Chains A and B, each alone.
Chain A
């Protein structure tokens, strides 16, 4: 552990059992926490390389959820590629009491310790050294001349990784797909909501236009009340005309005449003169056939009818 400007740099190794406090740290991963390969690929970008990494490491890795990383070396078409298991690293960080919010960045020892000279001891049993540009991990007993790893001069590079904290719980790609579908549905729903609201506004505008076009009262209650009043007038007047039509359509005998007609307060009164008693029922039934609500009285050849409209 050394002090490096704003935060400490830690060498994270499963064979060291250290516990750290609550402070900001940069992490360098021990080679025992990742797999590394140097290879030449006829592709132009790191992005294309990353697509190939699962198949490149297919034979090397055991079953598990792995993440991959790659960077290009200074040589043409040469890449250093990595595979690592997020959960293993996360478990080790938790074991060494390193909180995720305290981690500034995580790097591979390959990228950060590529300039070491000779072998460097990283724990009681293991050392690291560079062989063919690859930082390899070897048992201590293999190499007699070894130094101690000092992180004082290490300046962390831009080759860092982000751990998928929940990659072991859910498949990130599936989650992205589900997320994309959800976002798509949200967009569609929101669009439809926007269109629906526009339609509502349009209909409300049309309704306002109706009010001004037909010179309606401000509330529907007033308008309904007015309509009720006029409908009542209309139905009464229609009924009055139908009743007149029924009266004037009666087939009266030669001596039968209508003497008197009066209409007031929805009531039409009619007096027929010269009507024989036997004929009253004929007149009444003829009018009742027209569905008129009437009452009658007969006195001295005069038939008096009262029709309610």
Chain B
């Protein structure tokens, strides 16, 4: 016949409710955190992916460079992570054409040297990395 004081049960229920509300509040905070982390990761992932595609996709860069360099008078040498271009004497028009293509493309130009030899010719050196 000994019964539990209903006030104890009420207090227990209030305790359980407070605990569950606390857990819910923590979970909501965690959810907000997870959403922010996801958005941040998504931004980083898309940016990184597109930048890597542009500056680090070896096969793609090599393919497009080979297409551009398919012209006479420019020596080129592919290395594992770079390309060296050089010409002791290059026609100014050819230089304009080549520079136009290289500067309009997204290549990581590490070094450049253009020296005027006379009114029609220049010496040219460039290094592109990926």
Contact = CB atoms under 8 A, between A and B. Distances in A.
B68 interface: no
A196 B31 contact: yes
Chain A, interface residues (CB within 8 Å), range: 35 or more
A179 B106 contact: no
A186 B17 contact: yes
B6 A172 contact: yes
A189 interface: yes
A210 B42 contact: yes
A288 to B, nearest CB: 22
Contacts of B1: 100-101, 103-106, 162-163
B6 A214 contact: no
Contacts of A37: none
Nearest to A260: B115
Contacts of A230: 47-48, 51-52, 55-56
A207 B109 contact: no
A199 to B, nearest CB: 6
B51 A100 contact: no
Given A214-B45, A234-B51, A189 B24 contact: yes
Contact of A100 (B2, B6, B48): B2
A203 B34 contact: yes
A101 B1 CA distance: 6
B113 interface: yes
A169 B7 contact: yes
B5 A166 contact: yes
A226 interface: yes
Contact of B114 (A166, A193, A261): A261
Interface stretch (B8-16, B69-77, B78-86): B8-16
Contacts of A189: 17, 20-21, 24
B115 A234 contact: no
B61 to A, nearest CB: 13
Interface residues of B, number: 49
B38 A206 contact: yes
B41 interface: yes
Contacts of B54: 234
Q: Describe A's contact surface by its main secondary structure.
A: helix
Given A163-B1, A196-B31, A223-B44, A175 B6 contact: yes
Interface in A98-137: 99-101, 103-106
Contacts of B27: 193, 196-197, 200
Given A230-B56, A261-B112, A214 B46 contact: yes
B101 interface: no
Given A186-B17, A237-B109, A231 B47 contact: yes
B116 interface: yes
A210 B17 contact: no
B64 interface: no
Interface in A139-189: 162-163, 165-166, 169-170, 172, 175, 178-179, 182-183, 185-186, 189
A149 to B, nearest CB: 23
A175 B7 CA distance: 8
A226 B35 CA distance: 22
Leading 5 A-B pairs by shortest Cβ distance: A230-B51, A103-B1, A263-B112, A214-B45, A182-B13
7 contacts: A179-B13, A207-B41, A214-B46, A216-B48, A220-B41, A259-B116, A263-B112
Given A200-B27, A231-B51, 16 more contacts: A100-B2, A103-B1, A162-B1, A165-B3, A179-B6, A186-B17, A193-B23, A196-B30, A211-B45, A223-B44, A227-B48, A230-B55, A234-B51, A234-B54, A244-B99, A264-B112
